[in-house]
Structure 1
Amino acid sequence: MADAPASNGFPVIDMLHFPAQLPELIKACEENGCFRIVNFDSILPVSLLYEMKAVVTELFELPLEIKQRNVDVIVGSGYKKPGEINSIHEGLGLYDIASSRSVDEFCNQLDATPRQRETIERYAKAVHDLITDIGHKIGEGLGLESVPFEAWPCQFRINKYPFTHDAIGSAGLKTHTDNGFLTIVQDDEILSGLEVMEKSGKFVAVDPCPGALLVTIGDIAVAWSNGRFYNVKHQVVCKEAGIRMSIATFLLGPRETMVEAPPELMDSEHPRLFVPFKFEDFRKTRFFKHSHAGEALDLFRRLAF
C-alpha cells in the first residue's frame, strides 16, 4: 500500500480500506461536501494521471480552429475559449465519457494522435469506473441496494488557466456548485488556485496534493440524499503566475428516470424535501436562471403544508 499524501486538512478516504471507511465517507459527504481519495491505483493508476496530464497539455497547444471543432452537445460541454467564461480560463470537454462513441468523436474533433487517443480512452474508462465505484460505496454507506450509476451520463472537462502576474487576485472560475452528483478533480500538482467553501462560509485553499484526487458533492446529490449531503461551493483564484491545468469528471444524474430520494432515506421525521425532477430540467433551470451556486435547488423543494 502506498503512503497516503498529506491531507491538507481535508478528509482522506483510503480506497483500500472498505467497508471500514464507509462511515467516514458518508460523514465527509454530509459535513464537508468534499474529500480526497488515495490508493485508487487498482482502478485508475497514478501513472495514467500523469500521462493524461501530458495529453491535455498537448491538446491545448492545438490551433484554435481545431479546438473549436469541439462543439457543445449540451450547453457548456464543448470548447470554451478565453473570454467566454473568464479571460483566464480555457476549456475542452465531452458530454459522456461512458460512451465509447462520444470519446471517439472527441478524439476525432481534435485530430488526436494514436498515442493521445489510446491515453484518452484508457483514462475515460478508468475514471468512469472510479467515479461509479465511489457512487456505489456511498449507496452502501447509506444502506441502499445497488444504484445504476453506470447508466448515468458522465461529463468530462479539461481546463487551462494561463495565470499572469497581472491576474493575481482575479477569479479563474467564479463561485459555483457542480450541477451533478459527484465530481472527481485531478487538480494541478504544482500550481494552487482551487478553493472550497466550508459551511461557515469561509473559503479554504485546496493545495496541490500529488497522488491524491479530490471528490466534490454536487446539487443532484443533495436532492438524492434528501438533504443529507452538502453541495460544496468552490472557485478558482489566480494566486501566482504560471499555467494551471485541471481535469474534472462529473457523474451527472439519471438519464431517463427522475431524481428523487430513495424510500430508505425518508420516514416520518425525515419527509421528502424535494419533488422528483428530471436532471435535464434541473440543468436547464440552472443555466437559464443563472443560478450556478446551488440556488436552483430551492425551486425544486417540496412545499410544506
Structure 2
Amino acid sequence: MTTLPQISLAKLAADATRHEERERLRLACEEYGFFYLEHGIPKQQIAKAIQASRRFFALPQSTKERYGHAAQDVYPTAARGYSPLYGEVLHPDAGPDPKELFDLGIENEDDRRPFAGCTRLPDDALAPGFARNLLALQSTVVNEVVPQLGMALADLLDMEEGWYRRHFNPPTVLQRVIRYPSTGGTAGKHTDNGFFTLLLQEELPTRSLQVWFGGCWVPVPSLPGSLVVNLGDMLQALSDDRFKSTPHQVVHTGPAERISLPFFIYPDVDARLTSRQGKQTFSVEEVMLRNFELIWETGDGAGRARELQ
C-alpha cells in the first residue's frame, strides 16, 4: 500500500457519481478499513480549532485538571473532560500513553443517558476560543459529513430502508482533542470500537499515524482537503466481517507537538443492532461501556487491542 484510497464526499452525494463512488467506497471498506475522505470543511475552521486547542494545552497543569474527569457531570465520567499525559491505556503491553487529551460530545443538558449530557468546558476568558471553535467544528462534522458518509455505509451494509435515520437520529459522538508532545508522543496499537472514526490532523511532515496492513505498519500522512476515515468494530460486526476495522497506532517523533482532532461516531446509545445475516447482535450502550471499562478501569486496552500482539 503506497497510499490509502481517496473518496469524495461530494461524489457520494451527487446523483451522477453516487453509484461509482459508492463502489469505490465498498472496495476501500473491504480491503483497507481506512481511506481519505475529501470533505469540504473550511480550512480556517479546522485551523481555529487547532490553535485554540494548543492554547488550552499550554495552560498550567493545575488549571487543566480543573476540567478533568472528576469535574464532569456525565456517565461515565471518563467520557468527557481533560486527561493528562499517561492517563489512558490503549494497549496493555504499551501501558499508559504519553499524550494528553480533552473529550466532549453533543451538548444536551436534558439528556442523562450514558455518553450524553453537558461537558464542563473552560470559558473564553480562560481558554480563548476553545469551546466555541471545537463546538463549531463539531456542528459542521455532525451535520455535513456524518450523515452523508453514514447513509452511504448503511447502503453498503444492505440494511433496510430508513435504517440509518432510525439508529443515528442523533448519533452518539465522542469528540476528542489530543496533544502528542514532540519526540515521543504515542497512542498504543488498537482498533476503534464504534461505527466509524473521522480524523482531522495537522499537516505536518512527520507521518505519525500508522495503519497495520499487509503484515507491517504503514504511515498515513495528512492530505490537504481530506480527513482520514477508519471503520470501527461495530461496523465490522454489522457487515458480518466483510468490512475491516483495521488496527492503528500513533508514533510521533517530530520536533513539534502534534494536535489531532478525531470524532468517534456511534449509533444512538439506546440502539440494539443486528447484522443483515443475523450473525451479530449487540447493544450499543453495553459495547461502549465495556470498552470504557477496559481502557480506563482495567487497563486492557481499546477495541480489539488484546488480540494485537
TM-score by length of structure 2 reads 0.78
Q: Which runs of 5+ in 1 are unaligned?
A: 1-6, 267-271, 298-305
For the aligned residue pairs, the C-alpha RMSD in angstroms reads 2.7
The equivalent residue for 1:22 is 22
- Rounded Cα–Cα distance in structure 2 between residues aligned with 1:292 and 1:63: 29
Q: 1:216 aligns with which of 214, 226, 230?
A: 230
Q: Which residue of 1 aligns with 2:147?
A: 132
Contact 1:56/1:158 (8 A) holds in 2: yes
2:47 paired residue number: 50
CA distance in 2, matches of 1:291, 1:117: 29
Deviations 1:118-147 (A, max 9, x none): 322321111112123211111233443231
Determine if contact 1:177/1:219 at 8 Å carries over to the other structure: yes
Q: Give the superposition deviation at 1:105.
A: 4.5
Residue in structure 2 matched with residue 300 of structure 1 by the alignment: none
Q: Is 1:84 aligned to residue 87 of structure 2? A: yes
Tell me how far apart the structure 1 counterparts of residues 303 and 135 of structure 2 sit (CA, whole Å). Answer: 32
**Cα separation, 2, equivalents of 1:188 and 1:131:** 20
Q: Which runs of 5+ in 2 are unaligned?
A: 13-17, 89-95
Alignment map for 1:1-305 (pairs within 5 Å): 9-18=3-12, 19=18, 20-38=20-38, 40-41=39-40, 44-72=41-69, 73=74, 74=76, 76-77=78-79, 78-85=81-88, 86=96, 88-94=98-104, 96-97=105-106, 99=108, 105-106=118-119, 109-113=121-125, 115-129=129-143, 130-144=145-159, 145-146=161-162, 147-148=164-165, 149-164=168-183, 167=184, 172-190=186-204, 191-198=206-213, 200-261=214-275, 265-266=276-277, 272-274=278-280, 276-286=281-291, 287-288=293-294, 290-294=300-304
Give percent identity, aligned residues only.
24
Report the alpha carbon displacement of residue 26 of structure 1 after superposing the two structures with TM: 1.6
Give the 3 Å change call, closer, same or farther, for CA 64–105 of structure 1 in structure 2.
Answer: farther
Q: Residues of 2 paired with 1:139 and 1:293: CA distance?
A: 21
The change in CA–CA distance for 1:245 and 1:285 in structure 2 (over 3 A counts) is same
* Aligned residue-pair number: 271
Distance apart, 1:8 and its partner CA:
5.8
- Distance between the aligned counterparts of 2:109 and 2:21, measured in 1? 32
For residues 231 and 177 of structure 1, what CA distance do their matches in structure 2 show? 6
Relative distance call for 1:221 and 1:75 in structure 2 (3 A) is farther
Which amino acid is the alignment partner of residue 16 of structure 1?
A
Kept after mapping to 2: 8 A contact 1:183/1:250: yes
Q: Which amino acid aligns with 1:282?
A: V
Structure 1 match to 2:91: none
Q: 2:97–2:187: 8 Å Cα contact kept in structure 1? A: no
Query: Which residue of 2 is the match for residue 4 of structure 1?
Result: none
Find the counterpart in structure 1 of residue 92 from structure 2.
none
Using a 3 Å threshold, how does the CA distance of structure 1 residues 101 and 47 change in structure 2: closer, same or farther? farther
Describe the shift of the 1:133–1:98 C-alpha distance in structure 2 as closer, same or farther (beyond 3 A). Answer: farther
Secondary structure class of the residue paired with 2:175: strand
Per-residue deviation at 1:227? 1.8
Tell whether the 8 Å contact from 1:172 to 1:237 is kept in structure 2 after alignment.
Answer: yes
Aligned CA distance change for structure 1 residues 143 and 87 (closer, same or farther; 3 Å): closer
Q: Mean alpha-carbon deviation: is it higher for 217-226 or for 283-292?
A: 283-292
Task: Report the residue type matching 1:112 in the other structure.
Answer: D
**Which amino acid is the alignment partner of residue 290 of structure 2?**
T
- Shift in alpha-carbon separation, 1:238–1:230, aligned structure 2, 3 A: same
Structure number with greater CO (CA < 8 Å, separation at least 6) is: 2
